[in-house]
Chain A
Amino acid sequence: MTQTDTDNSTNAPISVKPVIRVVDLVKRFSGRAVLDGINLAVHKGETIVIMGGSGCGKSTLLRHMIGSLFPEEGRVELLGRNLNELDEPDLNALRLRFGILFQSGALFNSMTVGENVALPLREHTNLDEQTIDIMVTIKLEQVGLREAADLMPAEISGGMKKRAGLARAIALDPEILFYDEPSAGLDPVTSAEIDQLVMDLSGKLGVTSVVVTHEMDSAFRIADRMAMLDRGKMIKIAPRSEFEAIRDGQATGDEGTDLIRQFLRGDSEGPITARRLSTGYEEDILEAAWEE
């Protein structure tokens, strides 16, 4: 497998300190290594897309980057601070500088859409109610949800929830935005709108973006660089063009590359499916019998 060195794979000058740095990160859940030695560097203003099959640990990696989970080994550095070493107040100060869109939107269900967006402003700024109202309207307009301000989260669709979650994530004008599957389960038009939003935020405002997705169309639209996660390991981090070349090229015989190729193309045959078929069917059955 191709273990690409993170710092060579970017065209940004080495002297620029990365905004996010993941170093040798290992995370185990009840003994099983879900993330197994992850290295990743994200530079200012770029959009990096993290891809990988369902359950390979994408959301878990994101949770480490936002300081909601902590690794067994290794570390995450965000804006130059090692998250492992921060106490709660410092971590909270750092949290105000990034936003996250959760996989499910994660709106606070007891508040209206507008109140959801207003909450970070109310809690973390000294703005008066009138200014907050204006800000909320602006943020909601940015995601095309101005008319939904007074609705409860239960009353809006999944796509609207994602967009409302995004409006909340950008309420404090963060420097970094994390997205967990921003366009999963959305219709193509809404999905393209969200992609456009992601690109606008990074293009116009210089926001650094980390996007987890397995929607390939959207990934190729928004990515500057792409990273492929497979079974807890980062098997390739490279500029979009390299991934495009793999997607459009022929099978190489190299397992790692072919695996990425199958994933990008959504082929039904290739290393991913071959692995699934060959892994220990007999062992499983024997083990089950043995446990009896």
Chain B
Amino acid sequence: MSDHAAQRNFVEAVGARVLGGVCYLGGITILLGRAVSVSRATLARSSGRDALIVQMVRVGVRSVGIVCLVQIFIGVILALQLAPPLEPWGQVEMIANIIGIAGFRMLGPILTAVVLSGFAGASIAAELGTMVVAEEIEALQAHALNPVRFLIVPRLLATFVMMILLTIIANWMIAIGGYVTALAVLDPEVSEGYWSLMRDQLRLRDFASGLIMAGVFGVLISLIACYEGLRVRGGAEGVGKATTMTVVYSIVSIVLAAGVFTAIFYVFGF
């Protein structure tokens, strides 16, 4: 193969990837648009509200334990890693400020989202994919029942709401993890001043920016999961692929979105 041909193949491959990415984004955006346009219709019916509650329980209650466990450990790790470098400056008590900022602004939402993409995202994709394979989605349509109104909206709203609620819990778990560590292994004055330092450090915008991101992550996770699930073709194999891709794309999009939002917050001093 000549150099020229190799180069062209490379360009073509990159082009195909970019095009595929744009199509994917387009597909997800369309799905979001449709979901938004029928969300009122979902909530207007008691069956829709019931479905929402079922999904909230499924998304939230099942992952709350894992979220707590992970986030407490994050608090512990932060405290143990930050204490030694702060020691020479006599500022070990500052771990409260740093854990507050890092936890509430970033680690709380991001790690909760990662846990949720594995928990809720994967299971939503598998469930919808199985429904596609079993002709259930077509059956809904044939009965004049809109699958977006029936299936997507409850999952999207549930993940959005639960992501925010779980992040609130997660934030406190990180803080508690740091506090417990301070109590157990650091100087007594560190734990004594812990909560007041954290309270002085944190502003409303720190809570808010974390929760805004959490909401965005929730929408991203559920949209990707629903999209992957709905486009499953070809049996169990397709379902397996959809769950894997859901987790991969979710995590990538979570980190990218976090980067974008952090940059925006930074520019606007939020």
**Inter-chain contact B134/A95, CB cutoff 8 Å:** no
**Inter-chain contact B142/A95, CB cutoff 8 Å:** yes
**Inter-chain contact B139/A123, CB cutoff 8 Å:** no
The answer to the question of A120 belonging to the interface, with a C-beta cut-off of 8 Å to chain B, is yes
The answer to the question of A251 belonging to the interface, with a C-beta cut-off of 8 Å to chain B, is no
**Which residues of A114-133 have CB atoms within 8 Å of chain B's CB atoms?**
119-120, 122-124
**Inter-chain contact A95/B144, CB cutoff 8 Å:** yes
Q: Note all chain B residues with C-beta closer than 8 A to A119.
A: 143, 145
**Inter-chain contact A109/B145, CB cutoff 8 Å:** no
A33 to B91 CA separation, bound complex (whole angstroms): 74
Q: Note all chain A residues with C-beta closer than 8 A to B141.
A: 68, 95
Q: Note all chain B residues with C-beta closer than 8 A to A102.
A: 135, 138-139
**Inter-chain contact B135/A106, CB cutoff 8 Å:** yes
Q: How many residues of B contact A (CB 8 A)?
A: 15
Given contacts A106-B136, A108-B136, contact A122 B47 (CB under 8 A): yes
Q: Among the listed A63, A66, A106, A124, which residue makes an inter-chain contact with B134, where contact means beta carbons less than 8 Å apart?
A: A106
A84 to B33 CA separation, bound complex (whole angstroms): 23
The answer to the question of A8 belonging to the interface, with a C-beta cut-off of 8 Å to chain B, is no
Binary CB contact string for chain B from 136 to 159 against chain A (1 if under 8 A, 0 otherwise): 101111111110000000000000
Max chain A C-beta neighbours (<10 A), residue from B47, B138, B142: B142
**Inter-chain contact B143/A95, CB cutoff 8 Å:** yes
**Which residues of B108-140 have CB atoms within 8 Å of chain A's CB atoms?**
130-131, 134-136, 138-140
Q: Note all chain B residues with C-beta closer than 8 A to A108.
A: 136, 139-140
Q: Note all chain B residues with C-beta closer than 8 A to A68.
A: 138, 141-142
Nearest-CB distance from A136 to chain B (Å)?
15
A96 to B47 CA separation, bound complex (whole angstroms): 19
Query: Looking across the interface, which residue of chain A has its beta carbon closest to that of B141?
Result: A68
A262 to B136 CA separation, bound complex (whole angstroms): 35
A124 to B130 CA separation, bound complex (whole angstroms): 26
The answer to the question of A142 belonging to the interface, with a C-beta cut-off of 8 Å to chain B, is no
A201 to B158 CA separation, bound complex (whole angstroms): 42
Nearest-CB distance from A183 to chain B (Å)?
17
**Inter-chain contact B47/A103, CB cutoff 8 Å:** no
**Inter-chain contact A104/B143, CB cutoff 8 Å:** no
Q: Note all chain A residues with C-beta closer than 8 A to B142.
A: 66, 68, 95, 99-100
Query: Looking across the interface, which residue of chain A has its beta carbon closest to that of B138?
Result: A68
Q: Note all chain B residues with C-beta closer than 8 A to A123.
A: 47, 143-145
A102 to B140 CA separation, bound complex (whole angstroms): 11
The answer to the question of A273 belonging to the interface, with a C-beta cut-off of 8 Å to chain B, is no
The answer to the question of A196 belonging to the interface, with a C-beta cut-off of 8 Å to chain B, is no
Q: Note all chain A residues with C-beta closer than 8 A to B47.
A: 122-123
Binary CB contact string for chain B from 36 to 56 against chain A (1 if under 8 A, 0 otherwise): 000000000001000000000
**Which residues of A67-99 have CB atoms within 8 Å of chain B's CB atoms?**
68, 88, 91-93, 95-96, 99
A165 to B139 CA separation, bound complex (whole angstroms): 10
Nearest-CB distance from B140 to chain A (Å)?
8
Nearest-CB distance from B64 to chain A (Å)?
22
Q: Note all chain B residues with C-beta closer than 8 A to A107.
A: 136, 139
Leading 10 A-B pairs by shortest Cβ distance: A106-B135, A92-B144, A106-B139, A95-B144, A102-B135, A100-B142, A120-B143, A68-B138, A66-B142, A104-B135
- If A108-B140, A123-B145 are given as contacts, then 7 extra A-B residue pairs at C-beta distance below 8 Å, sorted by A number, are A95-B142, A102-B138, A106-B138, A108-B136, A109-B134, A119-B143, A120-B145
User: Which B residues lie at the A interface, using CB under 8 A?
Assistant: 47, 130-131, 134-136, 138-146
User: Which A residues lie at the B interface, using CB under 8 A?
Assistant: 63, 66, 68, 88, 91-93, 95-96, 99-100, 102-104, 106-109, 119-120, 122-124, 165, 168
19 contacts between A and B (CB under 8 A): A63-B138, A68-B138, A68-B141, A68-B142, A88-B146, A91-B144, A102-B138, A104-B135, A106-B135, A106-B136, A106-B139, A109-B130, A109-B134, A119-B143, A122-B47, A123-B144, A123-B145, A124-B143, A124-B144
